[in-house]
Each structure stands twice: as structure tokens, then as C-alpha cells.
Structure 1
């Protein structure tokens, strides 16, 4: 801001004050005195100068009410700026005035508000600076006579700062990118005597290197991701109706939680979703907030408020919060850090509640362990819709490979390769694509489909002996599911890796059972489910007098699911030796904690042993049916519908009876 401009501005403010006094009879209000601090402030601090200029503009906009001897002004400061810088500028502007300046706390602590409005409201004129996005004490809200937002980094002020510091002239694009930067970067951008253009060009280059939302459109979110795909299409339609004025914003779901295994591509999905819905993407994480500056509570909260404020400014916007489970649960915090962590959760609750009033902002959290999140964050009204995000199916895997290898997107073999990669996550597919590109790069040519094939370890072809072993295992699951009425077996398959390949899960065989939707389950029904999960291994032991590794080895294995059910029976439903239930007493996702609980371990062990023995006894009595079922399965590789109906115990005798009656 040059001297002539500053003189004219001060004179204009003084003139307006005098007019306001004459019109309103505010004889007790003394006009603010004009001063010439602009040049000196610019040399002292870039941040202080910009805060000073923004405050002068705010005073000019609100000259009449600020002249009132009983004015209470609420001034909202962008989350990227420190309140201390604005306070220092205010002290300079109101140096000779009876104006009290107050910094509003970032959030309400566990002990309550760390500010007493009564102490400040006794003053005649009061200016309260509050960070954008934070909750304001209700007493200040009631007393406020002026509400305004501080417009920092005005293009005129940035250009004036560049001239006063000898940093040169800025173009419109350079001004725009500098205006987006947080306050702590201003000193590095406006170095005295150094061309500001150099820093601005670097910032522009960084912005161009960021992944653009148009790229994310290559990933089709409408299919291949189960519930997440269906939800994405619903959101897209609702947003379009909102844009067309057919739907009120209050009727749009504004909070979602994506949860599922690690590496499934939740971040990439969110980016593609923002592009599909034509929304700005604001992506951050709890750890990014934590790493802001020194990681002190104030620094983290400011980073949090900055993300929400940026989402609001760029609406319609999808605010993506990764690693959402790292926020924790207030009931489980370590006592040493409880106060810090509780205030972080409380502040996030305030931000999420505020989203309802921030039209055009959709908040999407992503995590691996939803049970570790404070229940208040994921209740109705906040991240209320919970969507399971699975490993991608064959169609989605092809889309992901096409995204990372665009030159092969139309190759007819790409879908075939993707279909033969069950169990691979989005991160796995990215690594395969990266390795294929590296091979081509070393040979100084474009990537080919053979480069991708070479990175995939070929599956061993299974001989008839292995196929029969797998068939025995799957037959055990199917027969026990049918006998105990756990559900309806839709299909049973074995994969030889020659003609038949797994496409849904990384397994040698699969039994797909459609479970009925029940209002509740009895203890016996849960026992039956456990017996069904253990029946594959039991069938192997009945036929081979031995069992293989097919029933265990991963978090989705037969034994893992049976164990999880048994733990739930004891800790959640009171089906142990004692019908107790104490919420939060056991963390089911913490394996080591469960292992240390000897009583729980003993009860779970008892359930698993009992149901394994029951499944084995039942299959011992069905040995002939078991063998017949397995032989047919090994022969045809896939059984479903009428093929299964003919193999259930008693089916042959029933058919003969019906024939005789006919």
C-alpha cells in the first residue's frame, strides 16, 4: 500500500466517522485518528501489514456501528491466519481508542469455556476475533452489534506489499495463488528486495503438478465397489437435484464413513467421486492436522478449522478425511493425553455439526476400523451413513489397471488379467502397474500387456488330487449349511487354475450362501453359523484323517470368522457362562487384548471345540453324501440350482417317492 493510497484511506475513514457522528448524534464517540504506519509495518512483517490493511478495510465497511460507544463486534478470521497477528494489528489501529480486543478460544474444553464473556462485555467497545469454523460463545453471539469477516490477502494489499518491500509487480494469476497460502508462508514469499514472482511461479507449478479431478474420472465409481458404488450414484443424483433447485440441502446426506480393508483405494475412490459429482476435492487426514507446525493443540485445531473453512469456500466440495479411525474414542484415551485428545474430538464434533449450515459441503471419512471411532462422530447428523468399501471385484480391478496404464485401457486382455487377480487391493494393482512401467522404461519403449503379465506370478495348475481335496472342503461347508438351515447355498465352486479361475476372492474354492435377514439370532443359530464355518476343515479330517491350511491363515478365513463370532457371543450378546455385558470392556479388534483375557479365551475355545466336534460328527454320518457331493463338484467345477438339489441328503429317496406317486 503506497503512501498516497494510505493517506487517502485514512482521510476517507476520518471523513466517514465525522459524518456518522453528525447523523447519529454519537457525541461521545471520538473519531479514530489517522496515522501513517503502512510503510513501516510492511518492512516489519508481511503478515502484520496484511492484517493491518484488512482491518482498515473492515473498519471502513462498518464505520458507523464501530463508532458507537457500546459496540460489540464479532470478526471472523480465516482459519489460515493466526489470531495473534490480527490482534497486534488491532492494537496499532485502536491505539488511542477505548476499544478492547479479545481473542476467542478455538474450542470448548472438557472443563467448559476458557473465556468469561462477562469480563469483556463490561467494556464500552469490544472487538472479538474468532477463527472461522469454530463455535462462538453464545453470550458473544447475543451481544454482537457487528458481524463481519476479515478479508485478508486482498489483491490491492498484496500488490502494495510487493512494492513496499521491493519485491516487484505481480500478475493476476500470481496474486491469486499467493492469496490461497496460509499466513506463515507470507514472510517466505515476500522477502525484502527479492522478486516475489519467483515464489509465485513455484506455487503455480506445485498447483499444476497436483492430480486433477479430470484424471480421476477414468476410474468408474458406478460399479465394482459394492455398496460404495450404489451410494456414489445416489449422492450424484441428489447433488444434481440440489443444483437444479429440486432438492433442499437439508435433504442431502452430508456425512459418510467408508470403511474396509487397507489398500482398497478409498482415497482414489473419493477423488473419482468428487470428479463424478463435479465437486471440488479437499483431501486431508487426522495425521496432517497433527503434523501442522509443532503439533500443539492450537496448531492442530487451526489446521482442522482451515480444512473445513476451505471446503466451505470451495463449495460444492467433498471434504475427504483419511485415517478417520485415528481420531479415537474419548472413553478409551490414555490418561496422559486424554485432555488433548478429548478437545480434538470435541472440536471435530463442532465442525461436523456446523457442516449442516455450510451448504454444498459433503464430508467423507475413510478408515479400516470403524469400531475405534468415538460413537458421537458417526451417529445420525454427523457421519451417519456407513458404507463398507470392499476389495475391488474383477470389473473394478480392470478399471483400476486402466487408470494406472491408460495406454492399455482398451486392450482386450486387460479384463482377463484383472479377473485373475482376486484379493488384490487398489494399492497392489498400482504396484503391478508401476513395475510394468519400469520394465518398459528401462527398455525405452511404451508399456505393453506382456509387461503386465510378466509382473503377475502365475498360479499353479491344480491336479485332480488337489481338486478333490478342495471339493471335500467346500462340500463340508455346503452340507452343514443345508442341514442346519444356516441359509440357502447358491453355488459351490472349485478352481483348477487351468480352465476355472477365482475372480471374487483369493481362494481355491468357494461356497456362496444366501443368509436370511432375521430380526435377531438365537444362541443356537449363532452356534450353527460357527459349525458351518468350521465344517470345511471337519470334512477334510473325516475323509483324509487330516486337515490343510485352507481353513486358516487370513482375517477372512473360516477359523477367523468362526472365532470372531464366538467372541461376539461372549462379549456382545451374553452367551457365555455368565450373561454379562459391559460395553467397552473388551476391544474385539485388539487380538493381544483378547488373548490376555484368560476367561474369555477359555469360553471361546470351548465354543469352537464343541462346534467343530458337532460338524465332524454330522459329516461322519454323511460320509457317502460327502464323497458323492465332492466327486460331482470336482467333475463339474461348479454346482448350483438343480445340481445342488439332487445332492442334498435324502434327495434321491424323495425323488423316488414322488415318482411312485405319479
Structure 2
């Protein structure tokens, strides 16, 4: 068997010689390959053998171009193989052949420039073979001089099987050979140990491939994360154009700030974004800088400069700065820390737009409270793009669960569970998966879908009385919002938790409305928005004489939204009882501070009470329509824009029959 394979490969090499001799134009003979002892090469080095075979195939494809006297060949080597391994094999093939020069191209451009001088390789006029890592940037002079370019197809299945036979490592199936082909060159000796079955190592690799490590399992950033997904796609396209020279770096987003609730998965999104865009990831955080060594100013600055320096060294790179709001705002630093903190902010500004530039480095900051960040850091040329990072939607929740439970990936039941977990953050879903795995470990088995279901708290069915209250609440929102023309109402729905479940919001019902983009806001428009927020509670108060607590309780509730806007009306928009404007005078993230400001509290209370009463009065005049709409919601559970038209005040349209479709539109 050894002899048959040897003869086959030798015949393969001889064909190269014959092809060169048949060419009509004069050729040099550097690529007339002398006979090699293939079994000896295989026994000596697995990497040499595989690289040798791959190079022979490449030389065969390009024998004409390689035989040209002034050939400059650029050969892209797969990223998992070291250039030195390919060079070693090339010297075996072209041993003692004069007139051929090799160049191992650097994988990246240093901040001081290229650590290679093309002139040293090109001036001699000899044939030049340049080995470059696939995906890396090639020196401009080599691009100009290249007469041919090709990719090295290494680890062909025939070559892997030949190596296994030469080393007495047994047979390999197609699947086993495929997983071996993906491995790094330095692993080949461990896989093809003499007189040991290579299939055993391959089976271990296949097992790992089916349940990849956390860093290898990445989320799909193109869907499920709202505006962040849109930005990710745009960034990828711009970077691709920049790499191809179609777009100058000045046209690419220099930086972006992701902000949103804690636990939404901003850190994991950053890792997936880097992979999606083909960028090196340099991840750190402001607290890490602050805790570097002794934590004094010098140590803090060293950590900061090192992060930016490393990102430039590894460009193109995504520099991810977590907890970015910890940097603070120079206008709000307490006097005892002012010098230290101001110096830090100034140094960060220098890093973001320093004199030496940062081409190839995209800076991505993440935080929960963007209002705590110095405005200078968020201006154009710095973290200029500001993207709200929402709680994951049903699609993203399914992907996050699959990320943590890869053995259940593709299971329709897992996606159904994810859809019924509105309001859950990435951290919540990670904890759920961890608990499911713990159950399986206790029983010494793999995780199944029942383990996941056991950790999900199923909302109890709503009794008819409670369901009717929810319907009154949502009908109140819809009627007042329509009457005040706050926005375009898309649909209204309630959930009985029997046949209808919440998938978009963690609530018993919802009114979904598209609000128009406003370049500016008037006092009346702000008042209308507050009236709309309070209309659900006002409807309950009107019909039942009291309201439930679901208008309050969290930062996204009706009352929270109305209160926040009322505070901004007084402190930022000069829509209160005075005309003063003091930007930044109130910390919106500090409830105790707001509570202690009695004058502000009185003005906000006045606005809220006035708009609550306005909503109640409006609904009192629309009471018949309110009751009809609530009855329709109880019956049909969901009404879209067309089905809502007959319930609007003054409408002459007849209530249409209910639709039979069960398709649910996601928010």
C-alpha cells in the first residue's frame, strides 16, 4: 500500500515536469521536481508532508506562471497554518534550486509602519514566492508587483489518508478527515501519532465541535437587537468596502455607544460583532483601568494607553470598553476627585482622537446610564453613534438560550419557551440555562427540554374579571392616544395566558403605537404624551372606581414614563412654572435627589395630576366607545389597525368579523 501511494504521488509530480517541458516559451527549470521519498517525509513530520502535498498541487495549477523568469507569486495560507510550516515544505521541494526567493509576510502592519522592505525582495529580479496569512493585509508594493495569486488548499482528504497510512494510523472517514482539516498545523503531530489510530483523535474533535466552547458560539447580531442589529450590518458593509479600498477610513463610524438596561448582553454582543465583521476583539472596561496595579493616576493612564496601543497593533480591531459611564462627567466631579477624574477624561479624549490617529480601530462603549458620561466623549469623531440596546426580542431570546444550551439548538420547543419570556434579559436567560444544566447533572444525563420548562414560571390564567380590567386599561390607552393623535396605533392586545401569551412585553396586555419622529417638542405635545401614558389607569379609575398596580412598578411602566417626561419638561424644556434652563442640574438616575427637591416635586405632581384628570374626563365622554372596545378585546384578544377603526369616536364603520389567523406580529 505504501508503495502504491508513493508511486501515485510521484507520477503526480512528474506530470508537473512534463507540463513545464511542453510549454512553447522558454522556461527556467526551478520547478522540475526531483524525486522525494514521500514515506520518509511523512514519518519525519506530519506538517511537512501535508504542506508538501498542498504545494505540489498549487505548483501544478500555476506551472506556467511560476516558470516565468520574473514571477512574483502571492500564496495565501489558511489562518490555522503557520507560514514557517509552508516555508519548510517549499524548501524540501525546491532544495538546491537557485533563483527562487521566499518571503514570509507579516500578519499585520505595525503602528510605526511595515516591518518589511519589499525592495529587498524585489530588486534582485529573482523569482519571489510570498507566503501570506489568509485574511491579512498585503503590503501595497507586493500587490503591485504580483504576477499571480492563489490560495493554498491544505489538508486535502487524499493527503490526510496517505499520511495516516504512512504513519500506520488507520483509516479515516470523510467526516473525520473534514474535522482534522480544520485544525491548526501544530496539532497534526498529536493527531497522527505513529502506530496510533488518527480516528480516535478525530472523534474527540468531532465531539468538541458539536458542543463548541463559549467563545466559539456566537450570537447572530443581525436580528433581535433592534437598532443595534441595523448598525452592525451597516458597519460590516463599510468595513468590507474599506478593506477593498472602496471607502476611506474617514467614512467609517469611529465609535459607538451601546446603552440600555443591565444584563441585556452588550458584552456578548460585542464579541459576536467582532466576529461578524472580521475584527480582532480587544475587550476591557473602565473599572479594570481604575483597578490596574495600585489604581493611582499613573497606573490608570498606563492601562488606558495600553488598551488603545494594543488595539492599534491588532488593527483592524474592535476595542470594547465596558461600563463606560464609570468615566464620569467633568462638570459633575466632586472637588476632592476633580483633578484625578478630569485628567482621566482628558487622556481618554486624547486616545479617541489623538494626533497619530486610530485607523482600523472601532471603539465600542457600553453602559447603562449614558447621561452620566462627559458630553465631549460622545461628540462626532469619538463615540459618535448612540444606539439603544434593548432587552432581547423573541428571536434573540431563542438564540441566547441556544447559545447556553447548544445541545437543544434547533428545537422548536426551545424557541416557543423563549417567545414566552418577554422582559427577560440575557443574564436572566443564562441563569435559566444554568439551572436546567444543574438538574441534568444531578441525574447524570444530558439536558432536555423538560429541564428548561421546569425553570420557567408560567403566568397563571387570567380570570374573566381580571381580563376585563386589562381590556379596559388598554382600551383607555388606545382611545386617548387616538383622540390626541399621539401616534399611529398598530394593534392592541391582551393575554389570557391560556391561548394568548405575552411575547413582546412583560405585561398582561399592550397597545403598540408608532410615534412620529419630532425634530422639536412643544409643551402641548409633551402634555399629550403624558395624558396617553396615564389613560390606562384613568380608564380603570373611571369604570371600577380604583386602579390596579400594573401602571407602576418598574422603569418601563406608564407612571414611570409620564414622570420622567414631566421632570424633563420642568428641568430641561422650561415647560414648568418658571423659564429657567439649567442643563444637568438634576440627576435623573437618582430618585432620592429628585424626592428632596420640593419645588421640582410640586411642579411634577401638578403636571401629572392635571393630565391624569384630563385623561379621565376624555374617557368619561367616550365611555360607550371605551366599553365596546373593551368587550371586543375580551372576545378577540387582539385587534389590529383595521379592526380598531369602527371603535374610534365619530367612526361610521361597522365592526368587522374577527380574523381567523393565529399569526402574531412581534413588537
Task: State the TM bucket, normalised to the shorter chain.
Answer: 0.5 to 0.7
Deviation at 1:532, TM superposition (A): 0.7
Please list the CA deviations of residues 139-166 of structure 1 after superposition, one character each: whole Å capped at 9, or x if unmatched: xxxxxxxx9999xxxxxxxxxxxxxxxx
- Following superposition, the deviation at residue 470 of structure 1 comes to 0.2
Structure 1 length-normalised TM: 0.66
Q: What corresponds to 1:424 in structure 2?
A: 424
Q: Please name the residue that 1:611 is paired with.
A: 611
CA contact 1:355–1:361 (8 Å) conserved in 2 = no
With over 3 angstroms needed to count, the CA separation of the structure-2 counterparts of 1:647 and 1:149, relative to structure 1, is closer
Q: 1:591 to 1:214 in 2, by over 3 A?
A: closer
Is 1:649–2:658 an aligned residue pair? no
Provide the C-alpha distance between the structure 1 equivalents of 2:286 and 2:270, rounded to a whole number of angstroms.
Answer: 16
1:304-332 CA-partner distances (Å, limit 9, x unpaired): 11111111111111100000000000010
Corresponding residue for 2:14?
A: none
Contact 2:258–2:387, Cα closer than 8 Å, also in 1? yes
In structure 1, C-alpha distance between the alignment counterparts of 2:407 and 2:347, rounded to whole Å: 46
Counterparts of 1:550-589 in structure 2 under 5 Å? 550-589=550-589
Query: In the alignment, does 2:319 pair up with 1:316?
Result: no
Deviations 1:391-441 (A, max 9, x none): 000000000000010000111211100000000000000000011111111
Structure 1: distance between partners of 2:619 and 2:347: 57
Secondary structure in 1 matching 2:256: strand
How much has 1:576 moved relative to structure 2?
A: 0.7
Structure 1: 5+ residue runs without aligned partners?
A: 1-131, 134-146, 151-207, 657-662
CA deviation profile, 1:175-206 (whole Å, cap 9, x unmatched): xxxxxxxxxxxxxxxxxxxxxxxxxxxxxxxx
> 2 CA distance for matches of 1:228 and 1:356?
29
| Match status 1:332 vs 2:332 | yes
- Would you say the 8 A contact 2:480–2:535 is kept in 1? yes
Note the C-alpha offset of 1:455. Answer: 0.7
Structure 1 contact 312–361 (Cα < 8 Å) conserved: yes
- In the alignment, the residues of structure 2 paired with residue 216 and residue 646 of structure 1 have an alpha-carbon distance, to the nearest angstrom, of 53
| Alignment partner of 1:630 is 2:630 | yes
C-alpha contact 1:586 1:594 (8 A) present in aligned 2: yes
Aligned to 1:166: none
Aligned equivalents of 2:552, 2:411: Cα separation in 1: 37
What's the offset of the Cα at 1:572?
A: 0.7
Residue aligning to 1:483: 483
Q: Deviations over 1:428-483 (max 9, x none)?
A: 00000011111111111101111100011111011221111100000000000011
Calculate the aligned-residue CA RMSD, in Å: 2.2
Deviation at 1:246, TM superposition (A): 1.4
Match of 2:239 in 1: 239
Native 8 Å contact 2:324 2:365 kept in 1: yes
State the distance in 1 between where 2:486 and 2:356 align: 43
Report the counterpart of residue 272 of structure 1 in structure 2.
272
SS in structure 2 opposite 1:363? strand
Q: Show the 5 A alignment for 1:123-162.
A: none
- Compute the displacement of 1:488 (Å): 1.9
1:228 is displaced (CA, Å) by: 0.2
Instruction: Give TM-score scaled by structure 2 length.
Output: 0.66
In structure 2, C-alpha distance between the alignment counterparts of 1:579 and 1:213, rounded to whole Å: 58
Contact 1:217–1:275 (8 Å) recurs in 2: no
- In structure 2, the residue matched to 1:547 is 547
Instruction: State the partner residue of 2:387.
Output: 387
User: Using a 3 Å threshold, how does the CA distance of structure 1 residues 474 and 370 change in structure 2: closer, same or farther?
Assistant: same
Name 1:593's counterpart in structure 2.
593
Q: Is the 8 A contact 1:552 1:558 kept in 2?
A: yes
Tell me the secondary structure at the aligned position of residue 646 of structure 1: helix
Q: Secondary structure at the match of 1:387?
A: strand
Q: 1:148 to 1:421 in 2, by over 3 A?
A: closer
Q: 1: distance between equivalents of 2:474 and 2:523?
A: 25
Aligned to 1:465: 465
Give secondary structure in 1 for the equivalent of 2:336: coil
- Which residue number in structure 1 is paired with residue 443 of structure 2? 443
2:434 maps to 434
Shift, 1:245, TM fit: 1.6
User: Any idea what the Cα deviations from partners look like across 1:41-88, whole Å, max 9, x if unmatched?
Assistant: xxxxxxxxxxxxxxxxxxxxxxxxxxxxxxxxxxxxxxxxxxxxxxxx
Q: Which structure 2 segments of 5+ residues have no match?
A: 1-109, 116-207, 656-667
The match for 1:454 is 454
Greater Cα shift, 472-481 or 233-242: 233-242
1:88 is aligned to none
Question: Which has the larger displacement, 224-233 or 354-363?
Answer: 354-363
Residues 356 and 251 of structure 1: CA distance in aligned 2, closer, same or farther (over 3 Å): farther
1:413 aligned residue: 413
Matched-pair contact (CA < 8 Å) for 2:218–2:271: no
Query: In the alignment, what sits opposite 1:281?
Result: 281
How many aligned residue pairs are there? Answer: 452
The CA distance in 2 between the partners of 1:518 and 1:244, in whole Å, is 38
- Aligned partner of 1:346 in structure 2 is 346
- Cα distance in 2, alignment partners of residues 403 and 471 from structure 1: 37
C-alpha spacing 1:637/1:355, structure 2 compared with 1 (3 Å): farther
User: What's the counterpart of residue 498 of structure 2?
Assistant: 498
Distance 1:408 1:356, change over 3 A: farther
Contact 1:216 1:275 in 2 (8 A): no
SS of match in other structure, 2:489: strand
